[in-house]
Chain A
């Protein structure tokens, strides 16, 4: 514990980790099938959806339309608009609490971040559920009893695709932000 930097520095590290979310995707969903050498990778960022190449969304939408999944339109996903604002707010709050340098501030910030992280993950789960279950009844290919929700975390076989879903660097940075926040709080307590 003694070797840890000061709470203020830890808090600034937490803020830096959050800033990294603008530079790295939070999550990755990888689809593998025989006809797609190298697989298709979808990257979910705090403010956009991208992938292995710039046409990934069109290519996944084309595949998905056969089984009646809705097309992904990043422009119509409101979360991609307000999540970045929340992140800016958390960065601002983090800087503020680093400046105030009180353990209660570190505590409050960390709890808020964890709550936001969990609700974000839950929101992501709801989107995945909706994409996987809300199928067009006129879809060309209908498989009795089949839904296409990608796993939130882990692997799953969906028809000819093996789907894998894991955090990307951004996800790790989000966890790191929480960790640094918690350490800032503990260090500030321990000092007293």
Chain B
């Protein structure tokens, strides 16, 4: 019997081994015994890198640790986020104002971290909204969206936001060309009426505030992705385009006819000169700039009505084209700034350009005609060489700082390592499945941290336990420190990452805010100390000046509200300790709940529809008595004479005093 059991278990284990081996054969043949250890971050230990992944159609950004692949945070950017009230609260809802009205969702694509001298400085993060053209700024001390700038007269801001090496500008281009200014024309007048724009958004170096500096009017192509030069090529921007056929229907076929499309090359220092010389035209338009005030956390929306346009026809030596293999998806520049890789996604080869050769060709006017007055540089003159048959569908290339490039191939589902100088292919590894972008920490900067590579795949299928038709995306982490890339981790990512950037943890950790100092809170409806909590009526508006502190809301009993009132709960979290947010949820509120960080004030609008007594409570498990952190709002019929009354048990006056004293002391300290 014992023998039989042993035999059986032996059989089972042989079977299991062969099954595993079978699975390994087609997916993870190169996993070594110590792979798990390389991606393992022990409990209580920190990851080496923060990775910021764009959220695609979720409109948000997710923050992961590398090498563990652990999810740390989802930063709401272009979509409302009811769990903390982002985009619902009175303070933040203005972030979504656009010339189209309130647009509370978008499609976020490309992450750019701010740079100094071609390296990440860890101050801000920028990301584009693809659909309603916008660029957002996230403050990396709070990991919160603090600014959104709309870009006028473009459609599909896919090609965005690409930063220059000292964060002078964010460069973007229109994905869809449209009539500019917008007008009612037949679609088949594309060639006559449709134009493209390349946009330069300048950054205020102290605060990071964005401003649309100028736009360059371009032929009606699809501007897809871009990069700015660095080191030797600083001062130039490179933008790939597709649909130089200028098709307006069935682009799948009609925009894929020509063997080569064009890459736009912009001398932005020259553009600055033309701008300073007044060689621009000012055009009436409409776009919104939404900026959060640091002290109050309130977003102010401002409509802008003019934009400065530079026309390449009137500004010679500012813009050039160079042919690039069929339907490129981006161009990437190596850490020296000399080599520019054109990723022609429908081409079998990859073109690598040399910046110095391009400059020489421009100097020698080695042009092959022009398009709309823009000279087209001779392809061969600018070419450093061709990477022969690297794979199918090259999409995105990053660098390791050791002279190697890594390119994702969507169709052949792999990452290929190759040498930039020799164009020789060094290694290839499968990914699961069909990678879009990849990220190496600092992989687009002058100084990459070439230790890890994450391939962000577009297709998940069988990689994880199935979750119905809609699944997370899959990412693979490779150790690239050796000669061959080594797959060390497979992890799911929130859909849909298009692009990511990763930065050394020590560049961000020490700047990460633990809470907002309450003495810096300048919110006009802030309640400084429980003693100041109160309810005020202004016509049919009721303003509740409410405080939260473990473990009570003050006031917690409110009477005198009437049906038809607009009740504004201005909740100030009086805590001044790390990780003590308080939540706020009002029964029947038709918008969202709130999550208020220590020292912050956030406002929820509640419009009661019927008389009764309704409960509110703290939604964040803040303390042992969190469940007790609740209260009631009494709603009376319209026209009733129930007086406005509010309160909190007098027994807690001790705390009230403590809170007041605390605030006064803090104020005194701040004013010293």
CB distance from B43 to the nearest CB of A (A): 13
Partner of A59, one of B551, B576, B624: B576
Tell me whether B576 and A71 are in contact (CB under 8 A). Answer: no
Q: Which residue of A lies closest to B662 (CB)?
A: A58
Q: A66-B625, A73-B657, A138-B651 are in contact. Are A55 and B577 (CB under 8 A)?
A: yes
Shortest Cβ-Cβ A-B pairs, 5 listed: A55-B576, A71-B658, A58-B662, A59-B577, A61-B658
Q: Does A54 contact B (CB under 8 A)?
A: yes
Report how far A169 CA is from B628 CA in the complex, Å. Answer: 42
Tell me whether A57 and B662 are in contact (CB under 8 A). Answer: yes
Q: Which residue of A lies closest to B575 (CB)?
A: A62
Report how far A77 CA is from B575 CA in the complex, Å. Answer: 24
Report how far A44 CA is from B651 CA in the complex, Å. Answer: 28
The interface residues of chain A lying within 8 Å CB-to-CB of B658 are: 58, 61, 71, 73
CB distance from A137 to the nearest CB of B (A): 10
Count, A-B residue pairs, CB within 8 A: 41
The interface residues of chain B lying within 8 Å CB-to-CB of A62 are: 549-550, 575, 577, 655
19 contacts between A and B (CB under 8 A): A54-B669, A55-B576, A58-B576, A58-B658, A59-B577, A61-B658, A62-B549, A62-B575, A62-B577, A62-B655, A66-B551, A70-B654, A71-B657, A73-B657, A75-B661, A136-B654, A140-B551, A140-B625, A141-B624
CB distance from A39 to the nearest CB of B (A): 13
Q: Does B386 contact A (CB under 8 A)?
A: no
Q: Does B666 contact A (CB under 8 A)?
A: yes
Q: Does A168 contact B (CB under 8 A)?
A: no
Report how far A66 CA is from B659 CA in the complex, Å. Answer: 15
Report how far A58 CA is from B547 CA in the complex, Å. Answer: 15
CB distance from B487 to the nearest CB of A (A): 34
Report how far A1 CA is from B666 CA in the complex, Å. Answer: 51
Known contacts A54-B666, A58-B577, A141-B624; 9 further A-B pairs (Cβ under 8 A): A57-B662, A58-B659, A61-B658, A65-B655, A66-B624, A71-B655, A71-B658, A75-B661, A140-B628
Tell me whether A73 and B661 are in contact (CB under 8 A). Answer: yes
Report how far A138 CA is from B655 CA in the complex, Å. Answer: 14
Q: Which residue of A lies closest to B550 (CB)?
A: A62
Report how far A57 CA is from B576 CA in the complex, Å. Answer: 10
Mask, B636-672, CB within 8 Å of A = 1, is 0000000000000001001101110110001001000
The interface residues of chain A lying within 8 Å CB-to-CB of B549 are: 62
The interface residues of chain B lying within 8 Å CB-to-CB of A140 are: 551, 625, 628
Q: Is the interface of B mostly helix, strand, loop or mixed?
A: helix
Q: Which residue of A lies closest to B514 (CB)?
A: A53
Report how far A136 CA is from B40 CA in the complex, Å. Answer: 49
Tell me whether B655 and A61 are in contact (CB under 8 A). Answer: yes
Report how far A140 CA is from B651 CA in the complex, Å. Answer: 12
CB distance from A74 to the nearest CB of B (A): 9
Residue from A55, A57, A140 whose CB has the most chain B CB atoms within 10 Å:
A55
The interface residues of chain A lying within 8 Å CB-to-CB of B669 are: 54
CB distance from A86 to the nearest CB of B (A): 25
CB distance from B387 to the nearest CB of A (A): 50
Residues on B lying within 8 angstroms of A by beta carbon are: 549-551, 575-577, 623-625, 628, 651, 654-655, 657-659, 661-662, 666, 669
Report how far A75 CA is from B575 CA in the complex, Å. Answer: 20
Report how far A70 CA is from B657 CA in the complex, Å. Answer: 12
CB distance from B515 to the nearest CB of A (A): 9
Report how far A66 CA is from B651 CA in the complex, Å. Answer: 13
Report how far A141 CA is from B669 CA in the complex, Å. Answer: 34
Q: Which residue of A lies closest to B654 (CB)?
A: A71
Q: Which residue of B lies closest to A38 (CB)?
A: B578
Report how far A65 CA is from B658 CA in the complex, Å. Answer: 11
Mask, A40-60, CB within 8 Å of B = 1, is 000000000000001101110
Tell me whether B654 and A65 are in contact (CB under 8 A). Answer: yes
The interface residues of chain B lying within 8 Å CB-to-CB of A138 are: 651
The interface residues of chain B lying within 8 Å CB-to-CB of A54 are: 666, 669
Report how far A126 CA is from B661 CA in the complex, Å. Answer: 24
Residue from B577, B625, B628, B657 whose CB has the most chain A CB atoms within 10 Å:
B577
The interface residues of chain B lying within 8 Å CB-to-CB of A73 are: 657-658, 661
The interface residues of chain A lying within 8 Å CB-to-CB of B651 are: 138
Q: Which residue of B lies closest to A141 (CB)?
A: B624
Report how far A141 CA is from B657 CA in the complex, Å. Answer: 21
Report how far A130 CA is from B644 CA in the complex, Å. Answer: 41
The interface residues of chain A lying within 8 Å CB-to-CB of B661 are: 73, 75
The interface residues of chain A lying within 8 Å CB-to-CB of B655 are: 61-62, 65, 71
CB distance from A116 to the nearest CB of B (A): 29
Report how far A62 CA is from B207 CA in the complex, Å. Answer: 35
The interface residues of chain A lying within 8 Å CB-to-CB of B551 are: 66, 140
Q: Which residue of A lies closest to B669 (CB)?
A: A54
CB distance from A47 to the nearest CB of B (A): 15
The interface residues of chain A lying within 8 Å CB-to-CB of B624 are: 66, 141
Q: Which residue of A lies closest to B658 (CB)?
A: A71
The interface residues of chain B lying within 8 Å CB-to-CB of A55 are: 576-577, 662
The interface residues of chain B lying within 8 Å CB-to-CB of A61 are: 655, 658
The interface residues of chain A lying within 8 Å CB-to-CB of B662 are: 55, 57-58
CB distance from A99 to the nearest CB of B (A): 37
Q: Which residue of A lies closest to B628 (CB)?
A: A140
CB distance from B552 to the nearest CB of A (A): 10
Residue from A59, A62, A71, A75 whose CB has the most chain B CB atoms within 10 Å:
A62
Report how far A90 CA is from B655 CA in the complex, Å. Answer: 37
Report how far A130 CA is from B292 CA in the complex, Å. Answer: 48
Report how far A55 CA is from B665 CA in the complex, Å. Answer: 10
Which residues of chain A from 119 to 139 have any CB-CB distance to chain B below 8 Å in the complex?
136, 138
CB distance from B134 to the nearest CB of A (A): 37
Q: Which residue of A lies closest to B577 (CB)?
A: A59
The interface residues of chain B lying within 8 Å CB-to-CB of A65 are: 654-655
Which residues of chain A from 60 to 105 have any CB-CB distance to chain B below 8 Å in the complex?
61-62, 65-66, 70-71, 73, 75
Report how far A73 CA is from B659 CA in the complex, Å. Answer: 10
CB distance from A8 to the nearest CB of B (A): 40
Report how far A65 CA is from B659 CA in the complex, Å. Answer: 12
CB distance from A90 to the nearest CB of B (A): 29
CB distance from B276 to the nearest CB of A (A): 48
Q: Which residue of B lies closest to A73 (CB)?
A: B661
Q: Which residue of B lies closest to A40 (CB)?
A: B577
CB distance from B335 to the nearest CB of A (A): 38
Residue from A57, A59, A136, A138 whose CB has the most chain B CB atoms within 10 Å:
A59
CB distance from B619 to the nearest CB of A (A): 19
CB distance from B171 to the nearest CB of A (A): 42
The interface residues of chain B lying within 8 Å CB-to-CB of A57 are: 662
CB distance from B579 to the nearest CB of A (A): 9
CB distance from B556 to the nearest CB of A (A): 15
Residue from A54, A57, A138 whose CB has the most chain B CB atoms within 10 Å:
A54
Q: Which residue of B lies closest to A70 (CB)?
A: B654
Report how far A82 CA is from B625 CA in the complex, Å. Answer: 39
Report how far A70 CA is from B654 CA in the complex, Å. Answer: 8
Report how far A39 CA is from B488 CA in the complex, Å. Answer: 37
CB distance from A84 to the nearest CB of B (A): 18
CB distance from A61 to the nearest CB of B (A): 5
CB distance from A180 to the nearest CB of B (A): 35
Residue from A71, A73, A136 whose CB has the most chain B CB atoms within 10 Å:
A71
Report how far A55 CA is from B599 CA in the complex, Å. Answer: 12
Q: Which residue of A lies closest to B44 (CB)?
A: A37
